Amino acid sequence: MITMDNIIDDKNPMIREISKEVELPLSAEDEQLAKDMMEYLINSQDEELSKKYDLRPGVGLAAVQVGVLKRMCAIYIPYYDQDGNLKNLDQWVLVNPKIVAYTPKISYVASGEGCLSVPVDHKGYVPRHAKVVVEAYDALTKQNVKITARGFTAICIQHEMDHFDGVLYYDRFQKDDPTRPIPNAMVIQ
């Protein structure tokens, strides 16, 4: 299983490398990687397991973060209602995802983004497309998918896809003042 020991941080130059397209159908090795990445996210969000194995909670993980330069990322985002009941679960292992459409509207997370490869949080807002349409092969359901993502999920997908190109969230901060509110943007709480 993947633990924090397997996840490279931003001091490792590999995090800046460009990941390659994944060959389809997936090899047995890539299928296993997809499973392992998803398992990490699920375990990391489990109170007991995250404590037991010292896993930093995450909602997304790109293959490069575990040292594999392939355009593959796992996403696991549960949404709860006010009573704490699971309302919706966005989960995929996206292989070779492409953004085929997006809105010009910008959104950002009010509390800033985090990254399993960035051990020290950097304060700042990251402008993202408020809505993206993504085409990919989903290794979880083993089919091609076309996803229309909004809000936090859209941000998460764009964050992971940045990893394919060696881009980290703090690279996208406004250079003059990272915590200056972004004009006309939708703020995600």
Which residues contribute to the site for Co ion (CB under 5 A)?
115
CB-CB contact of 129 with 106 (8 Å): yes
Would you say 23 or 57 has its CB closer to Co ion? 57
Would you say 45 or 82 has its CB closer to Co ion? 45
Would you say 14 or 24 has its CB closer to Co ion? 14
Give me the active site residues, please.
160
Would you say 115 or 136 has its CB closer to Co ion? 115
Least separation, in Å, of the C-beta of 169 and Co ion?
7
CB-CB contact of 144 with 169 (8 Å): no
Long-range contacts from 107-110, C-beta under 8 angstroms, 24+ separation: 107/151, 107/154, 107/155, 107/185, 107/186, 107/187, 107/188, 108/155, 108/182, 108/185, 108/186, 108/187, 108/188, 109/152, 109/155, 109/188, 110/187, 110/188, 110/189
CA distances from residue 125 to 142, 148, 163, 186 in whole angstroms, order as listed: 35, 23, 17, 12
Residue nearest to Co ion (CB): 115
* Residue 95 β-bridge partners: 72, 137
Least separation, in Å, of the C-beta of 85 and Co ion?
28
Least separation, in Å, of the C-beta of 181 and Co ion?
23
Least separation, in Å, of the C-beta of 143 and Co ion?
26
What is the residue whose two structure tokens read 């699920």?
42
Would you say 137 or 164 has its CB closer to Co ion? 164
Residue 49 CB-density burial (10 A; 0-12 exposed, 13-18 middle, 19+ buried): middle
Least separation, in Å, of the C-beta of 115 and Co ion?
3
